[in-house]
Each structure stands twice: as structure tokens, then as C-alpha cells.
């Protein structure tokens, strides 16, 4: 009996070590709790984030241990990547946003359009408008297809009654990045310098890769298996993130 307990303990221990290695060095699951990345990421999406894409900082590991500074095996992120990072305010809270500004860039919003180094982000005329979730309410929003200078395209939602029509200029410091949510008028991001602001390269955790599971909490509890056709978003399973 004692020998069996020891063997089971060893099995559990090694399983935990393997899980820790996978989580720290390869992939980590994340849950989307807010609407800041709609219409591309929805509340209830579960996704995998690759840790190896940009190399490793202390934030790649659980609890962000202060065992070293900077990054190793580093590769620079690309404009348009959807990235998980630790907020500069506490170096603990995970945010997920789209990378808009690189080190040295000048970002400004003029008449509701985003300018990068005095050039507006290209966007199509809105093909449709829809209700986009924002906290405890919905906002009627226009959905644009935006295309960045490197060819990355994605959907972006702008409220019909925008909250940030014009802004000051944001000058991205060296080794820092500027992030925005795709739900432009319902996202706390780098535009809010006191709470998020510019993000150090060291604070980047990884790149969002794929949605592996998704539920719509507005349709009820997942334990109600007879309503799974409404609760579980089967069409989002294994959807590549772009």
C-alpha cells in the first residue's frame, strides 16, 4: 500500500513538472473575460498563447519570478500581432490587445481615425453595423476592415458615438510597444497612460494563436448539457487567431 502511494505521488509530481514546462516554454491557455477585442475575440473564448514566439522573460513563468531581467532567445513582435502582456501598472495582470505602435512610432487619433507616423491606417468603408458588447451594455458600432502597413488585416469596431474621436500624440519609447483593443471605444489599453500606457518588451508574455474552446455565458450554464447547442460556440473551435 505504501509503495503504491509513493508511485502515485511520483506520477503526479512528474505530471505537474511536465505541465509546468509546457505552460512556461510552449503554450499557455487564456480566457477572454471582456469585450475589448470584439468582434475578433469574444467573451468566453479560450485560447492558446505561444510562449516561444518572442523569446522568454521572467513573465513567461508562473508568478513572474525575479530571477533575471530582459529576454533571451528574443524575436521582435510584428505590428498587428495579438499579444498577451503584463500591465506595467502591476506587472501581474494579463491583458490581450493588438500591437499597433512599435518603438519610435508616433500614434494619434484624428477624427476617429488612427494615424501611425502621420499616415492613417487603411480601412474599408464599413460593410455593416452591429451591436457590440461593452461592459453591461451594447453599443451600435460600425465594423471596418483595417490593413496595416505590413499587410496585416483584421476587423475593428468603432462605436457610432465614439468616446475617443481625437487624442494627443503618443510617442512610443525605445523597447516599448503601443497596444489597442479591436473594440476601439470599449478597451482600456495604451491610450490610457496612467493605467496601461506603453508596454516594455520584457512585459510581453506571448502571441495568441488559436481558439480551442468557446462558450456564451449569456445562454446559460455549461452544466445544462441539453442547451449545449446554444451555450457552446462549436464554430469557434480551433479557429486560428489573426
Q: Hey, which residues are catalytic here?
A: 36, 97
Q: Which residue, 199, 204, 211, is CA-closest to 239?
A: 211
Query: Number of helices and strands (H, E) in the chain?
Result: 2, 16
Q: What is the DSSP string of 52-98?
A: STT-B-GGGSTT---S--S-BS-----TT-EEEEE-TTTS--EEEEE
- Cα separation, 11 vs 209, in Å, equals 30
- Cα separation, 195 vs 205, in Å, equals 18
- Cα separation, 43 vs 86, in Å, equals 19
Grid coordinates belonging to 225: 448539457
Amino acid at each position: 500500500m505504501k509503495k503504491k502511494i509513493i508511485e502515485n505521488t511520483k506520477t503526479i509530481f512528474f505530471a505537474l513538472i511536465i505541465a509546468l514546462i509546457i505552460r512556461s516554454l510552449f503554450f499557455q491557455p487564456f480566457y477572454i473575460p471582456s469585450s475589448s477585442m470584439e468582434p475578433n475575440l469574444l467573451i468566453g473564448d479560450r485560447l492558446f498563447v505561444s510562449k516561444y514566439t518572442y523569446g522568454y522573460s521572467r513573465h513567461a513563468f508562473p508568478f513572474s519570478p525575479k530571477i533575471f531581467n530582459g529576454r533571451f532567445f528574443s524575436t521582435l513582435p510584428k505590428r498587428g500581432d495579438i499579444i498577451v502582456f503584463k500591465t506595467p501598472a502591476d506587472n501581474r495582470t494579463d491583458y490581450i490587445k493588438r500591437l499597433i505602435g512599435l518603438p519610435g512610432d508616433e500614434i494619434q487619433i484624428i477624427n476617429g481615425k488612427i494615424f501611425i507616423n502621420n499616415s492613417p491606417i487603411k480601412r474599408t468603408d464599413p460593410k455593416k453595423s452591429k451591436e457590440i458588447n461593452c461592459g453591461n451594455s451594447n453599443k451600435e458600432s460600425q465594423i471596418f476592415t483595417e490593413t496595416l502597413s505590413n499587410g496585416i488585416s483584421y476587423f475593428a469596431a468603432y462605436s457610432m458615438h465614439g468616446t475617443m474621436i481625437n487624442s494627443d500624440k503618443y510617442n512610443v519609447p525605445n523597447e516599448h510597444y503601443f497596444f489597442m483593443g479591436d473594440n476601439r471605444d470599449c478597451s482600456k489599453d495604451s491610450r490610457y497612460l496612467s493605467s496601461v500606457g506603453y508596454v516594455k518588451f520584457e512585459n510581453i508574455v506571448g502571441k495568441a494563436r488559436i481558439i480551442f474552446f468557446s462558450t456564451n455565458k449569456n445562454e446559460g450554464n455549461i452544466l445544462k448539457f441539453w442547451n449545449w447547442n446554444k451555450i457552446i460556440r462549436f464554430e469557434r473551435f480551433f479557429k486560428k487567431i489573426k
